[in-house]
Structure 1
Amino acid sequence: MHDHDEAGVHALPIDVEYGGRQLTITPSVVETDRGLVLIDVGPQRAVDSLEVHLQNLGYALTDVWLIVCTHHDGDHVGGLTAVLDRVDAVVATHRDEAPYVRGDREPIKGDGDRYEPVEVDIELADGVRIPTLAGPMEVVATPGHTPGHVSLSFPEDGLLIAGDALVADGAAPLEGPKPEFTADLSRATESVGRLAERDVEHTLCYHGGYVDAGSERIEEIHENLRS
């Protein structure tokens, strides 16, 4: 697997230690007329790496105007306060994730050691479109991994940013959600089915990065999950 940059979309692979494990996570940025949209930030200690990635692309962290959180797990959003200390950005997540990010509820998979709560400025809903230089970026509700998990679709070039609805760090190039980290597997399975209906040519997973696989493979995964 290689780092992949679609026109206007950049994967930012970062090696972190999280929950006692070494992980490679893949936040991403999308270029827009207003600056950058950052999709997930990683845990707290990922911020410096984010900054270096952006500098290599010719940007600064302060070019980020919107942070989209695919869901509230700490390995995705634990670094929000650290990022917001350096940039005045708008925070968006699905309305069913907002209570966890805001601190009204404890994270589903937390062990009591939660990240600092952050105000959510925009509550996203399925079908919301954000204009970007890669064409419209559409919010796709993919609940199951968490109650309000979202993925992001770029219909113009067939790219799917899957979040944790799919993973690419296993034996197969693209796989379904990991059952041990999935709050509701039957909903997650339905979500994979929804993704299979879209015209996906390539996929960017938070765990595993870019894969040259799309709808056909996602439909296979859906069938396997259902059987």
Structure 2
Amino acid sequence: MKIANGIEALDLTVNMMGRQSALHPTLIWDDNEVILVDTGIPGQLEKIRKAVTSAGASFDKLNKVILTHQDIDHIGSLPEILKGAGRKIEVLAHEEDKPYIEGDKPLIKMNPERMAKMLESLPEEQRQKIQTMFGARRSAKVDTTITDGEVLPYCGGMTVIFTPGHTPGHISLYHQKSKTLIAGDALVAADGALLPPSPRTTLDMTTALQSIKKFTKYDIDTVICYHGGVFKENVNKRLAELADTQ
């Protein structure tokens, strides 16, 4: 979905845990930069390439990937993107999640015990397929670490908002020019509503809820949730309501 000139929420269809759903990486671009925020699950390089082209940008000019956090559905296709590009792409992420993205530590949510619990209700064939897809070691070098409040001077300016809780190093981004919040998994959209992150997939729900309060400092017209897509209805009011309940 197009948000404004040079910013679009991509739509990647996936089948996870026996359910078909969509993931929404964000594409931001201008004459100098083509930036992808998050990279889908493993094996989605061609879907991403097509989505970038359909948005009106050039995959061949992609020069930066910003990761909101370490989860496999956000970093899954990163190694394929870096390999398939045939040129240098700068990878940016928060310091807290860097060792997980780079493979120095195992992904927090992919340990065998947690995986077994997540998959226990699925048929054996589906369990094996998901374990094969997600079980392989996938890592990539983080070239640049980004910090809370840092303004990235790309595409009209993007402010980094450190929003831990869902993972220790989760970040969100505020695109100043379009007044768009790229929330990652700090928020979700469902049935026309803007909601806190899912407790089932959030490591520290108390911290995650506190992180929502940071969004009230910004004038936001649009929220892009990685799960659920775009929310545009009285955004600042809704964020204030969510912050007040914590």
Answer yes or no: same fold by TM over 0.5.
yes
* Partner of residue 189 from structure 1, selected from 193, 202, 209: 209
Residue identity in the other structure for 2:241? E
Between the aligned partners of 2:193 and 2:9, the Cα distance in structure 1 is 17
CA contact 1:78–1:115 (8 Å) conserved in 2? no
State the 1:221 CA deviation: 1.6
More deviation, 148-157/201-210:
148-157
Aligned ranges 1:164-175 → 2 under 5 Å: 164-168=185-189, 170-175=190-195
Aligned ranges 1:26-37 → 2 under 5 Å: 26-37=24-35
Shift of the 16–223 alpha-carbon distance from structure 1 to 2, 3 Å rule, reads same
Aligned ranges 1:55-204 → 2 under 5 Å: 55-87=53-85, 88-112=88-112, 113=135, 115-133=137-155, 135-168=156-189, 170-204=190-224
Superposed CA offset, 1:116-158 (max 9, x none): 111110011112222233x211111011110010000023332
Per the normalisation by structure 1, the TM-score is 0.91
Between the aligned partners of 1:59 and 1:197, the Cα distance in structure 2 is 31
Between the aligned partners of 1:141 and 1:114, the Cα distance in structure 2 is 29
Matched position secondary structure for 1:70: coil
- Partner in structure 1 of residue 15 of structure 2: 17
CA contact 2:96–2:168 (8 Å) conserved in 1? yes
Residue identity in the other structure for 1:66? K
- Partner in structure 1 of residue 123 of structure 2: none
User: Which runs of 5 or more residues in structure 1 are unaligned?
Assistant: none
RMSD of the TM alignment (CA)?
1.6
State the 1:115 CA deviation: 4.2
Count of aligned pairs: 221
Matched position secondary structure for 2:84: coil
Matched position secondary structure for 1:161: strand
Matched position secondary structure for 2:194: coil
Between the aligned partners of 1:8 and 1:44, the Cα distance in structure 2 is 26
- Partner in structure 2 of residue 221 of structure 1: 242
User: Which runs of 5 or more residues in structure 2 are unaligned?
Assistant: 113-134
Residue identity in the other structure for 2:172? S
Between the aligned partners of 2:100 and 2:136, the Cα distance in structure 1 is 10
Superposed CA offset, 1:12-53 (max 9, x none): 111012344322000011114423011001012221111111
Residue identity in the other structure for 1:191? S
Between the aligned partners of 1:195 and 1:13, the Cα distance in structure 2 is 24
CA contact 1:16–1:24 (8 Å) conserved in 2? yes
